[in-house]
Amino acid sequence: MAPGIATNGPGSSPGAAIRDAILAGVIALGIFGPLVGLKTEQNMQNELIITTRWGTVAIIVAIVIFGRFLLTTTIWPAIARRKASDAGPSRTSVAVKAGIARWFPPVGLVFLFVYPAIVVGLLGFQGSLKWVDNFGIQILIYVMLGWGLNIVVGLAGLLDLGYVAFYAVGAYAYALLATHFGLSFWILLPLAGILAALWGIMLGFPVLRLRGDYLAIVTLAFGEIIRLVLINFRELTNGSAGISSIPKITFFGLYSFDISAPNYVAKVFDLPMSSAYYKIFLYYLILLLALLTAFVTIRLRKLPVGRAWEALREDEIACRSLGINTTNTKLTAFALGAMFGGFAGSFFAARQGFVSPESFTFMESAVIVAIVVLGGMGSMIGVALAAVAMIGGTEILRELDFLKAVFGEGFDPDQYRMLFFGLAMVLVMIWKPRGFVSAREPTVFLTERKSISGSLVKEGHG
Partner 1 sequence: MTMTVELDVVVEQPRRWALDPVLSVEHVSMRFGGLVAVNDLSFQAGRGDITALIGPNGAGKTTVFNCITGFYKPTQGMLNLRHASGDTFLLERMPDHKISAKARVARTFQNIRLFSGMTILENLLVAQHNPLMLASGMTILGVLGLPGYKRAEKEAIEKAKFWLEKTGLTARADDPAGDLPYGAQRRLEIARAMCTEPQLLCLDEPAAGLNPRESAELNTLLLDIRAMGQTSLLLIEHDMSVVMEISDHVVVLEYGVKISDGTPDEVRNDPRVIAAYLGVDDDEVAEVEEVLDDISEETAR
Residues that bind partner 1 in the complex, under the rule CB under 8 A: 296, 299-300, 303-305, 307-308, 310-311, 313-315, 317-326, 332, 440, 442-450, 452-453, 456-458
3-state helix, strand, coil in the chain (%, to 5): 75, 5, 25
Give 63 or 452: the residue with its C-beta nearer to partner 1: 452
Give 223 or 376: the residue with its C-beta nearer to partner 1: 376
**Burial of 298: CB neighbours in 10 Å, binned 0-12, 13-18, 19+:** middle
Please state, in angstroms and as integers, the Cα–Cα distance from residue 305 to each residue in 142, 190, 196, 268, 336, following that order: 25, 22, 20, 47, 11
Q: Which amino acid belongs to residue 260?
A: S
Answer yes or no: are the C-beta atoms of 112 and 389 closer than 8 Å: no
Give 270 or 448: the residue with its C-beta nearer to partner 1: 448
CA dihedral 231, 226, 160, 444 (to 10 degrees): 120
Can you tell me the distance from the alpha carbon of 41 to that of 7, in angstroms, rounded to the nearest whole number?
46
Can you tell me the distance from the alpha carbon of 358 to that of 37, in angstroms, rounded to the nearest whole number?
38
230-252 per-residue burial string, b: 16 or more CB within 10 A, e: under 16: bbeeeeebbeeebbeebbbbbbe
Q: Which of 192, 142, 186 is nearest to 374 (CA)?
A: 142
Give 58 or 452: the residue with its C-beta nearer to partner 1: 452
Q: Compute the least distance from the CB of residue 311 to partner 1, in Å.
A: 4
Give 183 or 291: the residue with its C-beta nearer to partner 1: 291
Give 289 or 457: the residue with its C-beta nearer to partner 1: 457
Give 224 or 310: the residue with its C-beta nearer to partner 1: 310
Give 345 or 378: the residue with its C-beta nearer to partner 1: 378
Q: Compute the least distance from the CB of residue 448 to partner 1, in Å.
A: 5
Q: Which of 55, 28, 63, 24 is nearest to 39 (CA)?
A: 55
Q: Where are the alpha helices (DSSP H) in 131-160?
A: 138-149
Can you tell me the distance from the alpha carbon of 18 to that of 65, in angstroms, rounded to the nearest whole number?
9
Q: Which of 318, 432, 435, 327 is nearest to 377 (CA)?
A: 435
What is the Cα Rg of the chain in Å? 26
Q: Compute the least distance from the CB of residue 437 to partner 1, in Å.
A: 14
Give 112 or 381: the residue with its C-beta nearer to partner 1: 381
DSSP letter, residue 257: -
Give 138 or 332: the residue with its C-beta nearer to partner 1: 332
Can you tell me the distance from the alpha carbon of 296 to that of 25, in angstroms, rounded to the nearest whole number?
55
CA dihedral 14, 16, 18, 20 (to 10 degrees): -140
